Amino acid sequence: MKCNYHTHTFYCDGKDSPEELIKEALERGFFALGFSGHSYNEPDRAFAMSGRTAALYRKEISRLRAKYADKIEILCGIEQDYFSAEPVDCYDYVIGSVHYVLKNGSYIAVDDTAEAVKNAVKELYGGDFDGLAEDYFRLVSKAAEKTGADIIGHFDLVSKFSGQNGFGQSLRFLAAAEAAVRKLVPLGIPFEINTGAMAHGIRSVPYPSPELMKIIKQHGGEIIFSSDCHDKKYLDYGFDIAEELARAAGFERAAVLRGGKTEYIRL
C-alpha cells in the first residue's frame, strides 16, 4: 500500500516535520500522504494540538500541498477524539478515535502505559478488564457519528497492552466488539488496519486483531490501511503483514482517499 492517512508530525506528538515525512513518502514511492494531527481535548492537552497550533498545522500542510502537487497527493486530516469538541469542517478527512474512557469521574487513557491501564482496571473496575472493554466499545460504537469520521481509528486500542497485562479477548470482549461493529458497518466507513503498536514492538498484529478483522468482514465492513506514524522510519511499517492478515480474514479490497473521495483498490 503506497499511501498512509494516519500520520502525526511535531505539531502534536509526532517526531518529524510534515516536509520530512513527505520526502520519506516520496522515497518510498507513495502516491498519497495524509496528515492527521490530534484534535484538542481536555484529557489529552499534552499531546493534542491547541487551536493556535492546529491553525499553523493547516497552513503548513496547505503550503506543502502546493509545493509537491506534481509529485504526491497531500491531504490535511485530523484525528478527532470522542471527547473533542473541535470543529472538523476545515479538514480533508477525519479519523474518529477513542483514546479515553470516563469512569467515576476519571479519564482512563487506554493507550497510556501497561502499568497505568492495569492499575485503572484494578482500581476502577475491580480487576475486570472486560468491564473496561465494554465501556470502551460502547464509545467506539458512537464515535464515528460524534466525530464526523471518514475512517474508524484503531478499533480495539483498548487491548494495546493486553499481552503485557495478561488480558485476553474473552467472549465478553468479543461480544462487546461485535456489538460496536454492527452499529458502525451500516455507516459505510472503513475500519483502519493500524500497524502503529507493531512498529513499537507492543503488538505482533495490527488493530484490529485478526479475530476482529473476521468479525468486521462477516458483517460487511470495509478496511483501510495505516501505520499511525509518529516517526518517518515507520511510515509503512508492517503493511505486508497487515495485508496478509486482511486477505486471510476474507478482504479482497481496501479503501484509499483520492481527490477527497473514498475509492477501493484490490489487495
Which domains does the chain carry? 3-266 (3.20.20.140)
Give the pLDDT of residue 44: 81
State phi, psi for 210 to the nearest 5 degrees: -55, -35
Per-residue pLDDT, 46: 81
Task: Tell me the pLDDT band of 209, cut-offs 50, 70 and 90.
Answer: very high
pLDDT band at 42 (very low <50, low <70, confident <90, very high): confident
Mean pLDDT, rounded, for 194-205:
96
Q: Are strands 106-109 and 100-103 parallel, antiparallel or unpaired?
A: antiparallel
pLDDT(45) > 90: no
- DSSP annotation of 229 reads B
Tell me the mean pLDDT in the region 45-59. 94
Mean pLDDT value across residues 231-242: 97
Q: Residue 47: which pLDDT band, with cuts at 50, 70 and 90?
A: confident
Is 49 in contact with 58 (CB distance < 8 Å)? no
Beta bridge partners of 264: 255
Element (H, E) at 211: helix 210-218
SS3 content of the chain, % helix, strand, coil (to 5): 40, 20, 35
- Overall pTM surpassing 0.85 (yes/no): yes
pLDDT at 203: 95
pLDDT tier, 11 (very low <50, low <70, confident <90, very high otherwise)? very high
Q: What percent of the chain has pLDDT over 90?
A: 96
- Determine the pLDDT at residue 136: 98
Cell (9 digits) for 35: 496528515
Rg (CA), the chain: 17
Element (H, E) at 145: helix 129-147
